[in-house]
Amino acid sequence: MTHKTENIDRRITWLPLLNVRIDQTRELGNGVSIAIWDREPIVAPTYQGYTDPAKPHAALVIIDSDVSHGLGCFDNTVRSRLIFSLALVELATGGQAWIHQIVSETQQYNGEGHCIIGSYSTMPSYGDHQRSPSPVIDLLPEDIERIRTASTILMSNSDAARRASLALRRWYSSRERPIVEDALLDTWIGLEAIFVLRSEPKRETASRRISRFLAGQPVQSGRHSESTLYEYAYDAYDHRSCIVHGDVTKRDPILAACQSEQMLRDTLILTVYRATLDSIEQAALKRIYTPP
């Protein structure tokens, strides 16, 4: 006798990470898992040799029962959740994870328990030419646990968490931008979200706090002295202001954009990725906002 079931619609959305390996499927939080992806990828000739068909890579996965948009439609809410988790994976890999495509697949089960599958896929917003492949990265269980902790922190409703979440989104956005001025603006939205309160003067306050926070820390920016970091931040903020106000007298902002991205990335690593549940609320932000 066939077991009768109610009609069930379920969409499974994958975001393959071609150069990331994991040992088993694990939950990341916010309804996203990182799973073993065993489908053979279609890889451009430039990237061949960076994937091992014999060793399945990882993928971020959302299983969503809400398919109200219909079969074959990609929900922007799903994309946002995937990108949020991808940004945390990027922090864990030092910014080296890269994706092939986003695949949205809807599975529909009828009353007889038969599965009808429809699928739809879309490429990410940046092209292959904007990312260079990196060697295969093994994402360890402790890395995934840190991602889970960071996700928990950022999903809370505290002021610090909202600031850090905005900074994370803007950091990831800056890495997608084809125009360097846009990337610089993104990084400074993120840096200001973490380091500057609304009523405070921006350039001097941000430069002082960024340099004090990062100097001597176990991140790439920490190799520089506090005075050097202050100069980097101060000059980069000048670039940011010129761009916002349409001033074209300032020199090419590529160096400032790169330095700003590094400072924001390192800040996120220290306050989010390497954080315990309370450090973003207490130790990290106390160090940012308390004068020496």
Domain residues of the chain, as ranges? 8-138, 156-289
Q: Are 184 and 260 in contact (CB under 8 A)?
A: yes
- Give residue 221's pLDDT: 92
Burial of 43 (0-12, 13-18, 19+ CB in 10 A): middle
- Give residue 235's pLDDT: 94
Smallest CA-to-CA distance from 265 within 164, 124, 144, 159 is with 164
Q: Are 286 and 209 in contact (CB under 8 A)?
A: no
Question: Looking at the chain, how many residues does it have?
Answer: 292
Biggest CA–CA distance in the chain, Å, is 79
Tell me the DSSP string of 138-185: E--HHHHHHHHHHHHHHHS-SHHHHHHHHHHHHHHHHHH-SSHHHHHH
pLDDT averaged over consecutive 10-residue blocks of the chain (292 residues)? Answer: 46 78 88 82 48 68 62 61 86 74 57 52 44 72 88 81 88 87 95 86 89 89 94 94 84 89 91 62 50 42
pTM: 0.77
Q: In degrees rounded to 5, what are phi and psi of residue 79?
A: -55, -45
